[in-house]
């Protein structure tokens, strides 16, 4: 029986330009715990922050210089981070999270579920949670 690999799959049968990395990327991932921070205004017009913890498998890394070149001039000086995670992480753009005691804001969510992961771009959040 001949070995079947990517060279044997016609481009018309490929679902995308990349293979599904879901199984391979798990070796790269580690257990991570985020606290999702939300502001709630109670009946006395008092603002309180609540944090909800959730764990998932992912990897945290600093942004590459080429990624920073694409940012606006003032934003290049901020600390940018990338988080690759499993597709089941409940984060959206503009969500605020705490990781290892530091607060971050989700600036973009790039959906690579076809390839087995989600990519988030985050910055250090110096302003806190805002409505």
pLDDT tens, 76-128?
566 789 999 988 898 999 899 999 989 999 989 999 888 888 999 998 887 66
Can you read off the two tokens belonging to residue 125?
Answer: 């959040």
Which residue did the predictor score with more confidence, 24 or 112?
Answer: 112
3 state SS of 112: strand
Please give the residue that has the higher pLDDT: either 50 or 17: 50
Predicted pLDDT at 34: 93
- Write a three-state SS string for 26-76: CCCCEEEEEEEEEEEECCCCCEEEEEEEEEEEEEEEECCHHHHHCCCHHHH
List all residues 6 or more positions away from 121 whose beta carbon is below 8 Å from its beta carbon: 63, 67, 80, 81, 82, 106, 107, 108, 110
How far is C-alpha 99 from the chain's CA centre?
Answer: 12
Greater confidence, 12 or 35? 35
Six token digits for residue 127 = 């302003």
pLDDT at 47 over 90: no
Mean model confidence pLDDT for the chain: 78
Is this model's pTM higher than 0.75 or not? no
Could you give the domains of the chain? 23-124 (2.40.10.270)
Give the rounded distance of the alpha carbon of 68 from its chain centre: 16
């Amino acid at each position: 029986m001949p070995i079947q690999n990517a060279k044997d799959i016609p481009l018309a049968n490929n679902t995308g330009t990349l293979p599904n990395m879901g199984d391979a990327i798990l070796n790269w991932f580690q257990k991570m715990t985020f606290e999702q921070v939300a502001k709630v205004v109670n009946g006395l017009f008092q603002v309180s922050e609540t944090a909800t913890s959730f764990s998932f498998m992912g990897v945290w890394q600093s942004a590459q210089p080429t990624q920073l070149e694409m940012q606006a001039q003032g934003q290049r000086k901020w600390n940018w981070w990338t988080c690759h995670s499993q597709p089941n992480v409940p984060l959206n753009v503009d969500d605020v999270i705490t990781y290892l005691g530091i607060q971050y804001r989700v600036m973009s969510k790039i959906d690579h579920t076809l390839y087995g992961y989600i990519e988030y771009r985050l910055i250090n959040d110096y302003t806190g949670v805002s409505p």
